[in-house]
Amino acid sequence: MESKDLKSSALADIIGVNRATISHILSGRNKPSIDFLQKLLSAYPNINANWLITGIGYMQENQKQQEVKPSKSIGKVVVFYDDKSFEELKV
In contact, 15 and 4? CB cutoff 8 Å: no
The yes-or-no verdict on residue 66 having pLDDT over 60 is no
DSSP class of residue 32 equals: P
Each residue of 28-47: pLDDT tens digit? 999 999 999 999 999 999 99
Q: Is the pTM of this model over 0.95?
A: no
Q: What percent of the chain has pLDDT over 90?
A: 57
Closest by Cα among 53, 36, 52, 42 to 3: 52
Q: Does residue 68 surpass a pLDDT of 90?
A: no
Q: N- to C-terminal Cα distance for the chain? A: 45
Amino acid symbol at 48: N
Neighbours of 8 (CB within 10 A): 15
Lowest mean pLDDT among 4-8, 19-23, 49-53, 60-64: 60-64
